[in-house]
Chain A
Amino acid sequence: MRDIWDVVVIGAGPAGLAAATTLAEQGASVILFDENLGPGGQVYRGIEQTASHPSLRAALGADYASGGALADRFRRSTAAYLPASLVWQVTPDREVWVSCDGASTRMQAGQVIVATGAMERPVPVPGWTLPGVMTVGALQTLLKSASMVPDVPFVLTGSGPLLLLFAQQCLKVGAPPAAILDTTTRTNAIAAARLLPAAMKGQGWRYLLKGLALKRALRESAIRQYSHVTGIRIEGTDHATGVSFHANGQAHRIDAAIVALHEGVIPAQQMARSIGCAFSWNDRQACFVPDTDAWGNSSMPGILIAGDGAGIGGAIAAEHSGRLTAFEALRRLSRIDAAGRDTLAAADLRARNAHLAVRDFLDQLYAPPPEILAPADDVLVCRCEEITAGELREVARQGCQGPNQAKSFLRTGMGPCQGRLCGPIVSAVLAQAHNVGMDDIGYFRIRPPLKPITVGEIAEMGGRLIDA
């Protein structure tokens, strides 16, 4: 493998695929690294495998199937592709260190496009660490990539487009959930209503129609559904056995061996933060978002961020964003000038904005309920080190000033997940405890290696490091 590339793209979801394809088609040398076995990211997970399963493809829907063309065009391009590879360090000088099959190599990139996408927002409710509790996205991944559906009573809880979509996909494959517990608040619904006219603009109306169709399909189904649900608590000692909650002023309990949680998605921060890219709290999306310009340039020169990792916009917006960062990378490499970039990018810029028109409405309607960002004292916040919100509040009272000091106090964020899951909650709990804003409290400092690799694997690289 060559060790100098015009552009290294990280992540093979819609943004990464579009970026790598565009760069290759424009004659740049480009390599795409991705953790998964095949292209598609999470949204088009298993897109090449499902091509030979027409009934599953049909159940997953036309929007999912549309990812097939994106993957095909990428495969036809000259972009190099290394699936099942783990990028574990990117330096500010754009050296990319990657592990594949137990061996690590490093290479130099002229430009780096981080397209690591989104993750599901952590949903710290009592019992969320019990076996049997998963995310809605995890269940959908099992469906897309392994044709698996629960064969025990299961419950979907939370809010957001993915939850509705997955519930409908479950219906289509004949494995409906026992119940849907919708946590969307009345306040959100009322506040979102005034954003509806703007949401119909551009391509927004398509999303609204799809949403209405999903809701209608669920209404007409036999699935038990509860609205404005609060106080979700998963019961069980060694495994989830049920979920209790409040709805319509009453306490309820439903038996379930699988409980799936979902409160929307947030940008995956790990890679960009480790490089040193600046982030800011986005109140509307209730998450940290990297500071980028319209072309995806981060605060670090030569590090561009494409797709949902730069702020949640959905798969189609991510695809356009991938192309926009590719054109900008070409400009930065002096392969085209600004005027050339603007010409090439005009259609994607328009299309991306058309697909973003619905976002303000969706962000408002599906804003996470306050209890998700302020878990009760007895709820585990850091799953790895098993630290509760109460312990975090106690060290805040003792003078712990922020997330990085909390590592010394409690080891929060120092377990195997390296703060990926607890990071947003730790910052939120400490910000509330000190009554300051999220930007003031900040976030974990993320350091490489971003993935577990052995000391032996690093040692094997030694010769090359000295040669360099």
Chain B
Amino acid sequence: MFRRLDADAGDISFRFNDTEIVARQGDSVAAALLAAGLCAIRATPVTGASRAPYCMMGVCFDCLVEIDGVGNRQACLIPARNGMIVRRQTGARDLL
């Protein structure tokens, strides 16, 4: 979907589900996922529809992911860090 204007791939690495994602210093988690070719990073709790980052500035909450065990984090606002464990949120959350 996206390419970088220069060759520098970055030296940060984190996991998104079972995939290793390489990111640059200063990338948000959402930017890093898009740069890695991922787009639909979430399925809605209501109908399970696929969603992707929409506004990239903290307004739409369509980039929500679980980061290091905490759900509903805004991937577009959180900087990518080495060793992060990022997980996809799929459908409604299990209450039990």
Contact = CB atoms under 8 A, between A and B. Distances in A.
Interface of A: 35-38, 42, 46, 49, 53, 55-56, 84, 86, 102, 119-120, 129-135, 137-138, 141-142, 145-152, 173, 238-239, 257-258, 268, 383-386, 415-417, 420-421, 451-452, 454
Contacts of A451: 74
B56 A148 contact: no
A421 B73 CA distance: 18
Given A145-B28, A148-B34, A239-B40, A138 B6 contact: no
Contacts of A56: 5
A236 B60 CA distance: 21
Interface of B: 1-6, 24, 26-28, 31-32, 34-35, 39-40, 44, 46-47, 49-62, 64, 70, 72-74, 77-79
Contact of A421 (B2, B51, B60): B60
Contacts of A150: 1-3
A148 B55 contact: no
Given A137-B55, A454-B70, A146 B31 contact: yes
Given A145-B31, A452-B74, 16 more contacts: A42-B57, A102-B70, A129-B49, A138-B53, A138-B54, A141-B56, A147-B4, A148-B31, A152-B1, A238-B50, A239-B50, A257-B1, A416-B64, A417-B60, A421-B55, A454-B70
Contacts of B61: 384, 415-417, 420
The 6 closest A-B pairs by CB, nearest first: A131-B52, A138-B56, A416-B61, A131-B40, A151-B3, A417-B61
A129 B32 CA distance: 21
B39 A239 contact: yes
A383 B58 contact: no
Contact of A146 (B27, B47, B60, B70): B27
Nearest to A386: B46
A238 B40 CA distance: 8
A131 B50 CA distance: 7
B56 A137 contact: yes
B59 A421 contact: yes
Nearest to A84: B79
Contacts of B74: 451-452
Contacts of B40: 131, 238-239
25 contacts: A35-B77, A84-B78, A119-B57, A120-B59, A132-B52, A133-B54, A135-B54, A135-B55, A137-B55, A137-B57, A138-B53, A142-B31, A145-B31, A146-B4, A148-B31, A149-B2, A150-B1, A150-B2, A239-B39, A239-B40, A384-B46, A386-B44, A386-B47, A417-B59, A452-B73
B53 A134 contact: yes
Nearest to B25: A49
A362 to B, nearest CB: 21
A84 B1 CA distance: 27
Given A137-B57, A148-B35, A386-B46, A129 B73 contact: no
Nearest to A421: B60
Contacts of B59: 119-120, 268, 417, 420-421
B60 A141 contact: no
Nearest to A116: B58
A138 B2 contact: no
B49 A134 contact: no
A142 B63 CA distance: 14
Contacts of B35: 146, 148
Nearest to B40: A131
Contacts of B79: 37, 84
Counting chain B CB atoms within 10 Å of each CB, the highest count among A56, A137, A138 belongs to A138
